[in-house]
Amino acid sequence: MKIFFPIEDKKFQVDFSKGIDISIPLIFNGPQPNTYEVTSATSNAYKDNNFIGDTREGGPCNFETYHFTPHCNGTHTECIGHITKERVSILECLDEEIIPSYLISIRATKSNEKYNPPIENEDLVITKEQLTKKLEGKDTSFLKGLIIRTIPNLENKKERNYMKKTSPFFTVEAMEYIVSLGVKHLLVDIPSVDRLFDDGILSAHNIFWETNNKKLNLRASKKTITEMIFVPNKIIDGKYLLNLQFAPFVSDASPSRPVLYQINEI
């Protein structure tokens, strides 16, 4: 279905029948990404004295119980409640269905930019300098969402153990720059915008949500971070419409399915 729509003073066309899923499908009991060595996501047939929820074992239907940790087992979207003392639900924070967004690709690097705790010799980071080169002069009406694909972009991101292979993270300057652009929805293919072991400081998260001592900032409460996406190499950098789908969990994070739609300016 093709739709014509305006954004500010420009007109665009989008085909909503051709969405591009940039989530990592969660394969219960199978290969999957993992952070912090949490228990892998599993599914088990429900059983009691009179019923078994597995047709292969004679049950009338498949009826399973799932165990997983959204923050660590795959693509998930989180809200400000991830870091605040107040218990805030993702359902309270995402009220946009279609989000004008940019996709960019960045190769993490060593840098003299700041981080708290300080950057170590082996750290690779995403910097303000890199972001500026990619985003300076871009159409700000499409910066409600920012999708960052890190290079190299290998298929093993879909099942990577991040305790065995470290991941890049954002410098203080980089995240401050993202906030200055007015980005409301940040999507990344790494397990965290922060260093995985950072003494619990969560510098990048706190900068993005503009929090102070883990206190709720209502002005930033409608912003989200989506982690552990996967953007295929065939998808080119540029403008897209983003449909950020997620399970309706009353929790600070939920498994999610970001879908991109290509657009044409007319």
Residues 59-99 have pLDDT tens digits of 999 999 999 999 999 999 999 999 998 899 999 998 888 99
Dump pLDDT digits (tens) for 151-169.
999 999 999 999 998 899 9
- 215 pLDDT tier (thresholds 50, 70, 90): low
pTM of the full structure: 0.95
Distance CA 166, CA 185 (A): 24
Residues 6+ apart with CB under 8 A from 104: 131, 134, 135, 146, 147, 148, 149, 237
pLDDT at 1: 66
Percent of the chain with pLDDT strictly greater than 70: 98
Strands (E), the chain: 2-7, 10-15, 20-21, 42-45, 64-67, 76-78, 99-107, 125-126, 145-151, 169-170, 185-188, 224-227, 238-246, 253-265
Q: Are 124 and 113 in contact (CB under 8 A)?
A: no
pLDDT at 82: 95
Dump pLDDT digits (tens) for 23-44.
999 999 999 999 999 999 999 9
Residue given tokens 């002005």 in the structure block: 219
Q: Per-residue pLDDT for 126 more than 80?
A: yes
Percent of the chain with pLDDT strictly greater than 90: 82
pLDDT at 166: 86
Residue 187 token pair: 């999507």
Domains of the chain: 2-265 (3.50.30.50)
pLDDT at 3: 79
Q: Per-residue pLDDT for 219 more than 90?
A: no
- 10 pLDDT tier (thresholds 50, 70, 90): confident
β-bridge pairing 253-265 and 238-246: antiparallel
Mean pLDDT of 179-190: 97
For residue 99, the one-letter residue type is: I
pLDDT at 266: 79
**Mean predicted lDDT score pLDDT of the chain:** 93
Q: Per-residue pLDDT for 226 more than 80?
A: yes
Structure-derived torsion over alpha carbons of residues 73, 75, 79, 83, reported in degrees to the nearest 10: 30
pLDDT at 61: 97
Residue 198 token pair: 């950072």
Mean pLDDT of 97-119: 96
pLDDT at 193: 98
Mean pLDDT of 97-121: 95
Say how many C-beta atoms besides its own lie within 10 A of residue 247's C-beta. 15
